[in-house]
Structure formats: C-alpha cells, structure tokens
Structure 1
Amino acid sequence: MVTTPPRSIPTAPKVSKVEGIKERSNALREPVATEILQDTTHFSEDGIQILKFHGSYQQDNRDNRIKGQEKDYQFMLRTRSPGGFIPAQLYLALDRLSEEYGNHTLRATTRQGFQIHGILKRNLKTVLAEIIRNMGSTLGACGDINRNVMAPPATYKNQPAYMYAREYADRIADLLTPHTGAYYEIWLDGEKAITAEPHPDVIAARQQTREGVAIPNNEEPLYGTYFMPRKFKIAVTVPGDNSVDLFSQDVSLVVILNDRDELEGFNVYAGGGLGRTHNKEETIARAADAIGYVDKDDIYALMQAILATQRDHGDRANRRHARMKYLLHDWGVDKFRETVEGYFGKKIQPFRPLPEFKYEDYLGWHEQGDGKLFLGVSIENGRVKDEGSFRLKTALRLIEEKFALPMRLTPNHNVVLSEIDPAHREEIQGILDRHGIKKETEIDPLVRYSMACPALPTCGLAVTESERILHSVLDRIRALLVKVGLPQESLVTRMTGCPNGCARPYLAELGFVGQSPDRYQIWLGAEPNQTRLSAPYLDNMALDDLEVTLEPLFVYFKQSRNPEESFGDFCHRVGFDALRQFAASYDPTVLETAIEATTGSARQRHRISVRPEIYQRLKGMATEQGKPMTELVNAAIEAYLNGLLS
C-alpha cells in the first residue's frame, strides 16, 4: 500500500520582533498615540520602537540608576534637517526648549541635525509641537526609514555644484518622506504644519505608481506596511568634497556638471555602512561601491528603485544583517546593479571620472561668492553648552537674536553661519572671542578633526565613555606625540562608546570603539580624507594602557614613515604584522635615554632584571599576542601581587 505524503503548508518567512511592531502600528500611530496620553514616565517596548520614527529615543540617565528604583527616564529629540539647514527661528526655539525642558545643552550630530536631551515624557508633545511650529521637523530622523539627507555645509553662491548638492538633498528628503498622517495627528492634533511645497518634479515622482516600486492600496506607497528593514542613509556631494563621509552612506550621489556648469546628472555610490557588533564576525563595517551614473531627469526614479531593492530584499529576520551594505556584500555590485535596474526600468550608465576626494570642515571665514560671508565655528564633540569661560550657547543665541543668520550643521558636528554682511564680521567675531570660542587656527588639529558620540550617560547602547573623556584622551595623545618627537603631528581620531559607529570611527586614522567598561577596540589605517576603512588592531585596550599601546606605534611611525606620509597611510602601508612585531620588541628605555641625552634631565626609573630564558619566553609571547613586553610584565606582576594579597 502506497500512501501519499501530506502536502506541506508553506510557512511565513521568519521576521524579527520589530517587523511585527511596525505591522501593528497602523502606519506609525500606535501605541504612541495612546501612550502619549497616559500619565506614565515612559513608553512600552512597542511604543519605544515606533517613537523612533517620530524622531525620538527613550533613554535614561545611567548616572542616576539606583537598584530597586525606577530609572530616570528621559527622551532625546533629533531634528530632520536636510543638508544641515537650521533657520534662525528654529535655532532660537531649540535653544529655548533645551533650557525649559531639556538638559540646557544642544547636541550637533554627525548627520547634520540637532538633538535635545533630557526631555520628560509629560513634556514631549509640547516640545515636539514647538519644533514643528518653528519650521522644524523630527519625522524620519530615527527609525527604519530614510534618515537625514546630508550635503556639504559650505554655502557657496558662485559654485553651482554646491548649490545643486544642497538643492537635491532637500528634494530627495522630500521624495522619501513618509506619507502617513500619524506625525501631525499625534503631535499637532491633526493640524498640518505650514511648510514649503516640494519641487513639482518631486510631487510628480511621489505620485507615480510604477509596478514593483509603488505598493498599491497602501497609505505608504513606497515604504509599505513594514517600512525599511533598517535605517537608510543618503548623502549628496560635489566632486572632490568628502565632508559628508560619502563612503559610509547607504547611497551617496555626486553631482556631475556639463561644460556650462549646468547639472547633467549624478554618479552613484551604494553599500556603505559602519555599524557592527563585537564578536559577531558576520557584522562588518563597509565602504560604499561605485554603481554608475544617471541623468538628472532619472534621479528620483533611481532613488526609489534603490530604496525598493533594499525594502524588498533586505534581511528582515536578522536586524544585525539588515542594512543595505549586506546586499552589496552578499550579492556583489553586478547583481545589486541588475536588481536595481529591474525596478528602475533601464540600464544604469557607466560611472563618470572623478577627482580625488578631500576632507573639508569649513571652519573660519569664507567668501560666499555673492558679496556675503559664511563662518564655520567649531563645536567640540558637537556639544553646544556654557561651561566655565567657554560659553558657546550664549554666544550663538546672541548672534542669532541680533542677526538672524541661517545656519547649517556640518557632518563633523560643527556649525556654519551664513549670509553674513561683511560689515557685521567684526561684531560677530567679537561676540565669539568674548565668550571663549577659539578661532580655527587656535584649535589643536587633534581636537579639530576628532569626533565622539554622546555615549554615557544617556545612550542605552553605550558600554563605556566617549564624549565625556575624548578631550582628556586627546591631551594624552598630544603629550605622547610630543614625547616621541612629533610635536606638530596630527591624525583623525574618533571615539564611540559601542561598536555601532555613530561617530564613524572606522573611517578614522585612530579609532577607539567601546568594547567593555573603560576598554576599547583600537582601529588603525584609514586614509585621512576618509576614503578607506581602518581595520581592528587590538581588542579591549584598557584606557590606562593608552600610552604603552600607542608609544611604540608612534615611534615606529617617526622612524619609518615616508616623506609627508600620514599615520593612517603608514599603518596601512607597513601592515599590522609589522606594527605588532615592532610593538612587541619595543624597549621604552631607549626613548627615555634619548630624551635624557637631549634634555639633560633624568627620570626616576626602577630597573629589574630577568633571566635570559624568561626574557626570550616573554619576547615570544609578546610577539604572538601583538603586545609590548612591558604590558605583559606589568600584568603578570600585578596578578602575582594581587594573588599574594588575597
């Protein structure tokens, strides 16, 4: 007797928990709309996830955690500011709201937005409504959606490429803005904010219903019920300008002009992304690939096609594998391009030649090209605050109250003030000088080109410090460079409190990535203009071991660098095996002896001899582990003494 096997019933593909939360949200309305009315200090887990789409993260002040007591819940709000544009009216509103409802500071982000920290749940609606009514928005600043579209902050009026980059950052932000009415229903009780209408071409593109791209009968025709698998990041820049860290973006567009300085089209990069997880080798930092070129008339259709490709093929089961960089990594560029072309409906043209990219920060005074000026002001670690003699918050408030200058935040979390009448230059500079704000020529380049994420105490993902300690770390690095004979040397240094990479440490010459309390993974070898990724050199470096770890590297760099070679390029050229071998055999007493011979001063040193066979074993172990012998000796002695004491 032969039996027919039962027909298998297809099962729904496995998806992450967040996908279900999005499905139940009624286009981002619930449970936020219900829970914002409840007299509680925080949102549910479902509410936290949907709140992100509205531009807010639920946090708690981890410095105030007390066992057995409720967490000190508070909220961070982030602006959606394409190209970093902040009108004077909005800035003054943000300044006031941070004083009345926040922690008295503003935080300029590395994606050209402002954050207000420390808002209580009962004040969240008030603050958000005020931002909207003062020409701002937070919609899509967080969540599984297109984030803030970046562009160079320079406000040149006589360089058409920069004008097109700013213009198309605005247009693409409008193109990919969610359709849902949830945002205004919840925060303005259904009142539609008065905003500028998108460009007619953008309106037409949003209304198109191309098969495979638009989702029929859905409130969100482009995003659908589930939005994106993860965050989606875009930048628009000009040839040669890498102020936006273009290789870190999901999609980067480079404006291409014809011989008459008219916009012809865009070069397209795709597949960048820096977030990763420690001890999860399948998670990677990745630089974007060149995809091709499209004419300007096709750019909206192409952006929708790329977004639809990631929407439909991104990994919705594993959020660690959900960014678009994994499609490029798993598929390769050719398959990715072919898939996009299927949605796009035509071939993507060959990539156009480009000049070498350079990093720019636009600090200091510059001619706009129309008779007016713009001024780049450094904000160390992006924190706008008044502290001691440094009173940047007051200075910016005074300038904006008197001159109402348009503002653009930079991708290096600084600020550019634009449209400045030359007659006002002296007065504006005087305000900054009186409030302790350094000119760009007075800032140590180590500080000028550094970045840190907020980390502790507010970020729930941070495993250790970042913003609060970076300045002291840079002081120690500067002292070390002076010690080894490189007093004028600088390098791009970035620090994060976790591996998600918000301050883009994987594109830094020297990256500190939080790995455990007071310990960091060290990344080396990126190019100073952020066109090449760094690589992990050392795991779990204790902050106390900073000098013993970096001194051998700086000495090797000084001894063996090529003329004008940067530290990042040096590390990349010689390779990590050579770096580790040099560090393992490095004898710090040689440098100390040289310093004494030069300065005539002697330091107190404690000499301890070891047997030759112990020395050889120690040297071999140091080479194997890629650590200085001094570090291993100190660790062994400390462990021995602790054992005796216990």
Structure 2
Amino acid sequence: MGPAAPYTNRPDYAAAQKAALDLADLLTPQSGAYYDVWLDGEKFMSAYKEDPAVTEARAFNGFGTNFENSPEPIYGAQFLPRKFKIATTVPGDNSVDLFTQDLGVVVIMDETGQQVKGYNLYVGGGQGRSHRDADTFPRLADPLGFVAKDDLLHAAKAVVCVQRDYGRRDNRKQARTRHLLAEWGIDKFRSVAEQYFGKTFQSAAPLPAWQYKDYLGWGEQGDGKLFYGVYVQNGRIKGEAKKALRAVIEKFNLPVVLTPHQNLILRDVEPAAKEEVTALLRAGGVKELVEWDGLDRLSMACPALPLCGLAVTEAERALPDVNVRIRAMLMRAGLPASQPLHVRMTGCPNGCVRPYVAELALVGDGPNSYQLWLGGGPAQTRLAQTYAERVKVKDLEATLEPLFAAWAAHRQPGEAFGDWAARQGFDTVRQQAAAAAAAAARQAPPAAAAAAAASGAK
C-alpha cells in the first residue's frame, strides 16, 4: 500500500507509490494460476509489465534467498506462514498507518528533493489478536535501518525471507512477523536479515514528526487539475450517493484512488468542471466535507455484523450513532465542537481497522459489548492499551463521560485525548475519572445523582 496523496508535482510521493508497485510486483507469486484469469487456455488479460529491476532482483540469489529451479523462487513450495503487509510513504505522512505493517518503507530524498537517496525500513508491526490470549497481541514496527535507493528490493526480499524461514508455522495465531520480532528482538532480526541482504543496514535517517493526513475535500494536484477527496462513512457507499459517484466518474472519466481510511479521491478534475461535479454529487446526497462532524472524518469501523463471519457484535452500523453520543459527551465536558478525536470500532479483536493505534477504540468482545482501548496517538504512532473490559454499548456514557471530563480538566493546552491518557497513565486516569464522576453526581438532580452513584458502585 502506498500513500493516496494525489499530487503530480511531488517526486517523493511518486517515489513512494512506485516503491509500493515494485514491491508488490517483486513479491507477487509467480505461479500464473494464482493471479491470472484464463479463458479456453488463452490468457485473458495482460497489460502491465514490471520494472526490469524487479525481475532482476527476484532472480538474484547471491545470498541464499531463492529456491533454485523453482517456479516460486522466493516462496518455494510453502509460501509464507501467513499474510505479510507492506506500506510505503514519505516522511511525516502517516496516512498508511506505517507502524502497523509487517514492513514499512519511508522514502528519503536527497538535498534537492528531486531524487531518491534511499529508504528507512521498519519491521514487525501488526494488529490482530484474540481476547484474553496473552500470546496474541498488537505491536508497533521497529526501525530496521536505512538502505540506499538501489537496495530496496533486495532488502525487502531479505526481510520476507527471514519470515519465510523462521516465522512460526506450528501456531497460526503466532505466524506473523511481529511475533518473530517479539521473540528475537530487533537486533537479532536485523543480523539475520543482513545475511540474506548481503549488506549491513545503515542507521535510519532522521525524520520529522508524523501526522495523519486524509486528502479530503478539493485541492490542486500540481498539474493544473484538481482532486476531490470524498469522505465515505465507514467505507460504505449505497443508494443515490453511489449512483451519483458513478455518474460523475463516468461522465468526466476520472481516475479514482482508494485511501487507507476507506475514502475515495477523484483525480484529474478540470477546474471548469468543479461546480458541476459538486452539484451532481450534492444532488445524489453526497455531503460536502464541512457537513460531517470531525469525529466521523477521523473514525473508522470494520464491516462486522452481518457481513463478517468473525464478528461478535456491531461496528460499521453502530459507529455513526456512537459518534453522535461521543460528541454530546465532549460538549458536556466543555470541549469545543471542533475537538478532534480518533475513534475506531471493530466487531471482533482481529484489528481490521487498526484500532490499537487509535486514541479511543471500541473492540467487540460480545453482543453489544466492547473492550475499551485508550492511549494511541492522533498520528497513530503509539500503541493503545486496554482500559476496560465488556463495556455495554448502552453504558458508554457511564464509562466515557467521566473520562472526557477528566481530560478536559487535566490536559495540557491543546493536548489530544490519546496523548493525555498516555502521559497520565491509567492509574491516574482512573482516579481523575472517578473524581469527575463524583463531582457530576454531586451537581446532578437527586434522581440523577442516585443513578450516577449506583453506576459508580457497579
């Protein structure tokens, strides 16, 4: 996965997107039946040719990475123990949730900003877990090091080969790269990867602070044309809005980019067509960005019930109403209507919308019941922790409202919710939330106070 940035005048983004394509080509299984569509023995579709450098890197076997005379030179007969996720980006842009990936790649440009100097690599991130199973856990990727621009494909191949040869195959739940990193540590992993790489990883290049970017709304691509990032609530398009999007895309022949946060970016819009595009989408019920609450814009939910066989509760269908309740709680806590908060909701613990890096995550653990995770950062660079178990959706106010009141009372100027929770630590957070709940009970009418006291005792 590469960044969805729609800019045509940014060599760094172009390099990140090309790196994503090249890595996908490098690691695509070579067995034709796996990915080609055939009709009557004849190849049905073939238009894309990979970069010759990719072909060369796949065939190179100077350090024991390949299975000789195998149709799958990298994977052999066994393939990888389990899935392997890769994301590429540029410094400062964490729209791809870089630290949740098995392999993260950051493009480093030279002093001119026009040529690629090399890449910072990160390994061992992941999200999936099982409730009350300490052997499964989310993890952030560790910095592996820096490689020169011509070494990216060989370095990525080396990392994949380490997981191929040493990843757990006896336990499916522990067959991801993060478990190997957790067992070995980054130093041992780096040492073994260097054996396949044939070189030493250099120290990672310094980077600016990470930010979450979504590229929503209207903007200039850099070539005289416009892009329009369309917010799609929890990734679900339906009804008249779906028809309107299709009509606009077909009428103006617009390329479409899918973002890592379930949204759409319409590309190559002529400035003269902006008003018509806007009018057609509005007529179909596609709301403009300013009409959405910032909570919705920053939130994600997985499909969950009724579409996912692993789900134990709701997510996609429930989060819009939950966000309305959260916004009301924030307002009652005295926080502004514009206060951002990253919320993610899943119907099970497998982590499909990467909830464990959110500021506030609701992770399904039973019918209408959720684990509450707090402390991820607004740029998704810190791991959240479990704050509460089995919180019923009908009881969210009793749990969250004191938390928001404590945040409002004790945060530093402008401090985000996740940053506040991580800085304070959960023991202090619980104390401050309990104090806020008690204060609210004292100020409430008698009947409400009794109800609040009963809830607190429970």
Three-state SS of the structure 2 residue aligned to 1:337 is: helix
Contact 1:255 1:265 in 2 (8 A): yes
Three-state SS of the structure 2 residue aligned to 1:264 is: strand
The Cα shift of 1:592 comes to 7.5
| Alignment map for 1:86-485 (pairs within 5 Å) | 150-183=1-34, 188-192=39-43, 193-260=45-112, 261-386=114-239, 391-485=240-334
Partner residue in 2 for 1:573: 423
Three-state SS of the structure 1 residue aligned to 2:24 is: helix
In the superposition, relative to structure 1, how do residues 185 and 303 fare at CA in structure 2: closer, same or farther (>3 Å)? closer
**2:340 maps to which of 490, 500, 505:** 490
**Comparing 575-584 and 184-193, the one that deviates more:** 184-193
Deviations 1:548-594 (A, max 9, x none): 00011011111111101011111111110112223345445636837
Contact 1:305 1:341 in 2 (8 A): yes
Three-state SS of the structure 2 residue aligned to 1:468 is: coil
Separation in 2 of the partners of 1:527 and 1:484? Answer: 21
Deviations 1:184-222 (A, max 9, x none): 677645432212110111122223233421112322111
Contact 1:514 1:521 in 2 (8 A): yes
Partner residue in 1 for 2:455: 631
**Comparing 221-230 and 484-493, the one that deviates more:** 484-493
Contact 1:586 1:629 in 2 (8 A): no
Three-state SS of the structure 2 residue aligned to 1:408 is: strand
The Cα shift of 1:605 comes to 2.2
Contact 2:125 2:142 in 1 (8 A): yes
Separation in 1 of the partners of 2:96 and 2:369? Answer: 29
CA RMSD of aligned residues (A): 1.8
Where does structure 1 differ by over 6 angstroms across 4 or more consecutive aligned residues?
A: none
Separation in 2 of the partners of 1:237 and 1:494? Answer: 22
Give 2:221's aligned amino acid: Q
Separation in 2 of the partners of 1:566 and 1:523? Answer: 15
Unaligned runs of 5+ in 2: none
Separation in 2 of the partners of 1:591 and 1:631? Answer: 10
Contact 1:184 1:191 in 2 (8 A): no
Contact 1:524 1:534 in 2 (8 A): yes
Contact 2:441 2:448 in 1 (8 A): no
Contact 2:442 2:449 in 1 (8 A): no
**Comparing 302-311 and 205-214, the one that deviates more:** 205-214
Separation in 1 of the partners of 2:292 and 2:249? Answer: 24
Separation in 1 of the partners of 2:138 and 2:201? Answer: 26
Three-state SS of the structure 1 residue aligned to 2:433 is: helix
Larger radius of gyration between Structure 1 and Structure 2: 1
Contact 2:441 2:453 in 1 (8 A): no
In the superposition, relative to structure 1, how do residues 571 and 188 fare at CA in structure 2: closer, same or farther (>3 Å)? farther
Separation in 2 of the partners of 1:369 and 1:607? Answer: 58
Three-state SS of the structure 2 residue aligned to 1:169 is: helix
TM-score by length of 1: 0.68
Partner residue in 1 for 2:384: 534
Contact 1:514 1:520 in 2 (8 A): yes
Length, aligned pairs only: 455
Partner residue in 2 for 1:544: 394
Contact 1:283 1:320 in 2 (8 A): yes
Separation in 1 of the partners of 2:331 and 2:442? Answer: 13
Deviations 1:582-621 (A, max 9, x none): 3345445636837xxxxxxxx6826659xxxxxxxxxxxx
Separation in 2 of the partners of 1:241 and 1:210? Answer: 35
Separation in 2 of the partners of 1:195 and 1:575? Answer: 54
Contact 1:509 1:524 in 2 (8 A): yes
Separation in 1 of the partners of 2:215 and 2:35? Answer: 36
Three-state SS of the structure 2 residue aligned to 1:273 is: coil
Partner residue in 2 for 1:613: none
Contact 1:478 1:487 in 2 (8 A): no
Identity %: 51
Three-state SS of the structure 2 residue aligned to 1:537 is: strand
**1:510 maps to which of 342, 360, 381:** 360
Separation in 2 of the partners of 1:592 and 1:440? Answer: 40
Contact 2:371 2:390 in 1 (8 A): yes
The Cα shift of 1:517 comes to 1.2
Contact 1:234 1:251 in 2 (8 A): yes
Deviations 1:464-483 (A, max 9, x none): 11111111111111111122
Separation in 2 of the partners of 1:536 and 1:175? Answer: 38
Contact 1:522 1:537 in 2 (8 A): yes
